Structure 1
Amino acid sequence: MNDPRIDRLAGVLLRHSLNLDKGDIFQVNASIAAKPLVAAIFREAATMGVFPVIRWQDDEIGRLSYDLLTVGDADTARFLERSNQWEITRWQDIKANLALRAPENDQENSGVPREKLQMTGKAGEPLQRLIIDERQWALFYWPTPAQAQKAGLSNSDYFDFVLDVSLIDYDRLYAAEQVLARRMEQADQLRIVAPGTDLTFSIRGLPVVCCYGRRNVPDGEVYTAPVRDSVNGRITYNVPSNMWGQTYKNVSLEFADGKIVQASCDGDNDALNRIFDADEGARYVGEFSFGVNPLIRRPIGSTLFDEKIAGSIHFTPGAAYARADNGNKSMIHWDLIQIQRSDYGGGEVWFDGELIRRDGLFVPEELQGLNG
């Protein structure tokens, strides 16, 4: 596949996202379908003097691996503990992780028992925290026909969309995001109002992080976390979201003193609540974020893209990130998204009684550079 944008993307991922230095070792965790990008990554690595270690993945084989496991079995528990410890040991020499996913079927794990998903998630949590909190990492979704179909686009149009939104001017985006970050750092009480939503919480004292291609590609969000016990009210999300191999629509959550006390959706409410019962932290929120990528305007069925939608927010049950840590720990981190533009029903965000964004557009003049 000869497309110069793929080589440009490889450069962005290694030089900007992972920020690698000569001699660094990094892992490429890639779906087989992403081979054209992996090849470009290896070519770019050769020019930089850095060393990739490749690990191939396949969705079907990943699903079949769950058949090897038995809940409550001592041998299974020992295998999971030892295999994760092996990984932690090898990561002492690895600086960064580049995850190149190419999903062919995001329902592949829908038939896997929830108990197995919870068991493997809990066993792998120390490794995941090591990579996420202590290493450089980046995530990219290579375009596939399955994802194009979900987005309602032809393969070629979807391919162009993915590369276009991934190769935006990240330096310009960062400059605009910093203005919003400063306003968030000064804020205390936030209020979110939208159809099915009237939510209040505090972000006082929590760090604010600008996202501009360092972790995710594409990128475009500014996030923090709520004070853990400060969340009260209700929020209803208008973007479908997948978790544990199942898609949930119109998820609505009611909070009291930070905790999800009621959860419902258009569909299987029992399955939804099992997610929030995964552990204590799953019923508390670890992230609040604005989506600000000007080229992403509608959901395409992939959280990596949908959470960056211009005019959106996401309010995330589960683990907080180390860079904006409100103390919430969990095996899950579920980016549930609400688009607030007028074509999606509208919405408002208030900082300490000041209207900051209405119907997806920032109101204060100094923030209007993020309106796209």
Structure 2
Amino acid sequence: MENELLKLSNTIVNYSVKVKEGERVLIITNGIESKFLIKALIRDIVKVKGIPFVRIVDNEINALLMELTNSKRIDELAKHKKEEVDNFDVFISIRYTENEYEGKHINTSIRKEIGEKTSKSDDIRINKRKWVLLNYPSLIDAYKIGMPYDEYKNYAIKSMNFDYSSMEQDIKPLKELMQKTNKVRIVSPNTDISFSIKNMNIVPCCGTSNIPDGEIYTAPVKNSVNGKITYNTPSPYQGNVYRNVSLIFKDGKIIKATCDGDNEALNAIFDTDSGSRYVGEFSLGLNPMITKPMGDILYDEKIIGSIHFTPGKCYDDADNGNDSSIHWDMVLIQNKEFGGGEIYFDDVLIRKDGKFVLEDLKHLNYNLK
């Protein structure tokens, strides 16, 4: 496993963020369990003459700070985040799941104020700096999907070490097809939704911002979304986990949102601001090493045969004009064992039950049976 982690470190430093001489690199983690990887990252950064810094945070302490905060402290937090993005060139974030319900009790208005006041710094970090995010495998992650920890850790690290340079070549025909596409239709159990991606930029993701990676995203034309979508994987957000989230759209806007649980809390998220009931991202998951939900959006959104359709802020490189302080990736898996489904581009069937059916795209099915 140490060799796999050394390989991962090399991939992050020399491929994902391509650290250059003199660049200031901030490694942020909430889990000291990733210490071996952090030490490897420090060595690899120094090898290329970068300047590494490390910040270790604690989720319980952060939750307490948020619980006891006020507007003055949030202003100071926003100032600190602005200084941080001004002072660093590269951000490597290593998350470690301890308790996904930590902070569940924090008032929605506090989260909203923090989101609004720190959004400009977040925009700079995401769109103007080099960054990569990974979730280090934890005991809780293994427990959630019913695997022994060592087996799960091996599975997770292997999915991170996928050959992204090969994927970058494999994905080109799909990108070209999406660039020519106007109308997209997605059909699955309790799902029939249509929208346009005409003239929208298409962005392949092959190990440069997320680890693991493997998706291709764009955004729908903002007011073009109509129909219903039901997500068949759990959707964690702000300390809650929402199941079987179902959204109905009219002219781009979510007009009804339900789930198997707290519908009031669900709708409060979509009432965060004027952009939170519109969609900022449409993406196809392509990582063949990830075949089932892991309860971690960084993995689940890459599941081969899946899509995610994301209420909230769009990315600058696939800009449909939607601005919001939320960006909530929610996943629909269309593989046969999850109920199946179809994707149509301009009324032509592109993918059925998670498998691409066009000859030019069948190589992207990888290990799907």
Q: CA deviation at 1:327?
A: 0.6
Asked if 2 retains the 8 angstrom alpha-carbon contact of 1:99 and 1:138, the reply is yes
User: 2:101 maps to which residue?
Assistant: 107
Aligned position for 1:72? none
CA drift at 1:176: 1.2
Residue 117 (structure 1) aligned with residue 111 (structure 2): yes
Query: In the TM superposition, what whole-angstrom CA distance separates every residue of 1:274-303 from its partner, at most 9, and x where no partner exists?
Result: 000011111000000000001100001000
Is 1:89 matched up with 2:83?
yes
Structure 1 residue 82: Cα displacement: 2.9
Partner residue, 1:46: 46
In the TM superposition, what is the alpha-carbon distance from 1:140 to its structure 2 partner?
A: 0.6
Structure 2: distance between partners of 1:146 and 1:258 = 37
Equivalent position of 1:204 in the other structure: 198
DSSP-derived class of the 1:314 partner: strand
For 1:126-137, what aligned pairs fall within 5 Å after superposition? 126-137=120-131
Query: What RMSD in Å do the two structures reach over aligned CA positions?
Result: 1.1
Match of 1:236 in 2: 230
> What is the alpha-carbon distance in structure 2 between the residues aligned to residue 3 and residue 111 of structure 1?
38
- The aligned residue for residue 30 of structure 1 is 29
Q: Residue 20 of structure 1: SS of its match in structure 2?
A: coil
Q: Which residue of 2 aligns with 1:299?
A: 293
Partner amino acid for 2:170?
A
Structure 1 residue identity aligned to 2:314: A
Per-residue CA deviation, residues 342-372 of structure 1 (Å, 9 max, x unaligned), is: 1110100000011000000001101011101
72, 75, 80: which is aligned to 2:74? 80
Distance of 2:68 and 2:347 partners within structure 1: 55
CA distance in 2, matches of 1:225, 1:368: 24
Name the counterpart of 1:353. Answer: 347
Deviation at 1:92? 2.2
The number of residue pairs the alignment matches comes to: 365
C-alpha displacement of 1:93: 3.2
Residues in 2 aligned to 1:46 and 1:20: alpha-carbon distance in whole angstroms: 10
**Alpha-carbon deviation of 1:134?**
0.8
Deviation at 1:86, TM superposition (A): 3.1
Paired amino acid for 2:172: Q
Worse-superposed segment, 80-89 or 345-354: 80-89
The 3-state SS of whatever aligns with 1:343 is helix
CA distance, structure 1, for counterparts of residue 169 and residue 349 of structure 2: 22
Gaps of 5+ in 1: 70-75
Normalised by the length of structure 2, the TM-score is 0.97
Query: Structure 1: which amino acid aligns with 2:20?
Result: D
Residue 222 of structure 1: SS of its match in structure 2? Answer: strand
Letter of the structure 2 residue corresponding to residue 64 of structure 1: L
Q: Using the alignment, how far apart are the partners of 2:50 and 2:281 within structure 1?
A: 33
For normalisation by structure 1, the TM-score amounts to: 0.96
One-letter amino acid of the structure 1 residue matched with residue 235 of structure 2: S
Counterparts of residues 1-372 of structure 1 (less than 5 Å): 3-31=2-30, 32-69=32-69, 76-372=70-366
- After TM superposition, the structure 1 stretch with the greater mean CA deviation from structure 2, 77-86 or 164-173, is 77-86
Distance in 2 between the 1:240 and 1:34 partners? Answer: 26
Question: Following TM superposition, by how much is the alpha carbon of 1:37 offset from its aligned partner in structure 2, in angstroms?
Answer: 1.3
What is the identity, as a one-letter code, of the residue corresponding to 1:247?
A: V
Q: State whether residues 81 and 118 of structure 2, in contact with CA within 8 Å, keep that contact through their aligned partners in structure 1.
A: no
Checking the alignment, whether the CA contact within 8 Å between 1:34 and 1:101 is kept in structure 2 is: no
Contact 2:19 2:45 in 1 (8 A): no
CA drift of 1:113 comes to 1.9
Residue 119 to residue 297, structure 1, CA distance change in 2 (3 Å): same
Question: What are the ranges of 5 or more consecutive residues in structure 2 without an aligned counterpart?
Answer: none
Residues 210-257 of structure 1: per-residue CA shift (max 9 Å, x gap): 000000000000000000000000000100110110000000000000
Q: Once superposed, which parts of structure 1, at least 4 consecutive aligned residues long, lie more than 3 Å away?
A: none
